[in-house]
Amino acid sequence: MELLDGKLVSAKIKEDIKQEAAAFMASTGRKPHLVAILVGHDGASETYVASKMRNCELVGFESTNIHYEADVTEAELIAKIESLNADDRVDGLIVQLPLPAHINPERITEAIDYRKDVDGFHPVNLGRMQRNLPCFIPATPYGVMLMLDHYRIDTAGLHAVVVGRSNIVGSPMSILLARNSVPGNCTVTLTHSRTKNITEEVRRADIVVAAIGKKHFITPDMVKPGAIVIDVGINRETSTQTKSGYKLYGDVDFDGVAPKASWITPVPGGVGLMTIIGLLKNTLEAAKGTIYPR
């Protein structure tokens, strides 16, 4: 078993991004700029946004965190997004999900200028990704592909089974793995909570991508020997054993599955760190105008 080490890979790519950001600063006189909007006081969301801001600083980006209380109206939020869309000093714009129940996340996503949509959630970016055109790829799937590329894992012709069909991870992951690209060129099965005989489906996989949001959903009996196992799950549970007061678990039973796998990502220390990398790379490309000319 070999570890797909998100800590190692993210550190390497961050150094590359830092050098590119310095070159951008030298040629333009400004830093790539990411703005993150946070609504309410969800603990996990606050942690994620703080991590994104901290990583921006580490690679030499400018970052701005705009925080609204949970009672902000949808109209107020959209008005702010529209003003940031029009601000040439802003390269990337993200709105942290989930949002309070009175705000429609689809309306918020579509309000963001697709040329600043560094989360890769806008329908324009998702449509261009499906057609294998230049676009901002959703940060988590992008991070997974960067990890596979770093380890030079040849995915061509392999059977990938994606568990979970969310618009943020599962569906785009299935498209990326199937595309005529490197990594890519897989035969892909997309499974979800309504899939019959899901254990049998997963057991056929050369590559398992677990993104269903259920702690230890993938058990050893579901994984064939030699499979590549990518755990996207981040399930938080309260814990007295950690300083933070919670502990993270993946969608994969790591201890049980690892001995059967050829490659596997840990949680924490795997895909979560690569998600940040996907976001940083998208923000850098937005600033440089390499995907959508400024």
96 included as an active-site residue: yes
CB 160 within 8 A of CB 206: yes
Catalytic residue among 14, 31, 96, 116: 96
Query: What is the rounded distance in angstroms from the CA atom of residue 92 to the CA atom of residue 80?
Result: 14
Return the H-helix or E-strand segment holding 148. helix 139-150
CA distance 56 to 53: 5
Please identify which of the residues 14, 52, 80, 116 carries the catalytic annotation.
Answer: 52
Alpha-carbon dihedral angle through residues 217, 222, 226, 229, given to the nearest 10 degrees: -20
* Number of residues that make up the chain: 294
Measured on CA atoms in the order 194, 195, 197, 202, is the torsion positive or negative? negative
Strand partners of residue 2: 263
For 228, the token pair is 């590549």
Nearest Cα residue to 6 out of 216, 256, 250: 250
Instruction: Based on the residue annotation, tell me whether 52 is a catalytic residue of this protein.
Output: yes
Token pair 């993200």: residue: 94
State both tokens at 214.
């259920």
**Residue ranges of the alpha helices (H) in 117-190?**
123-130, 139-150, 170-178
> Among 117, 119, 231, 251, which one carries the catalytic annotation?
119
Contact 80/49 with Cβ under 8 angstroms?
A: no
| Of 115, 106, 60, nearest in space to 86 by CA | 115
The residues that are catalytic are: 52, 96, 119
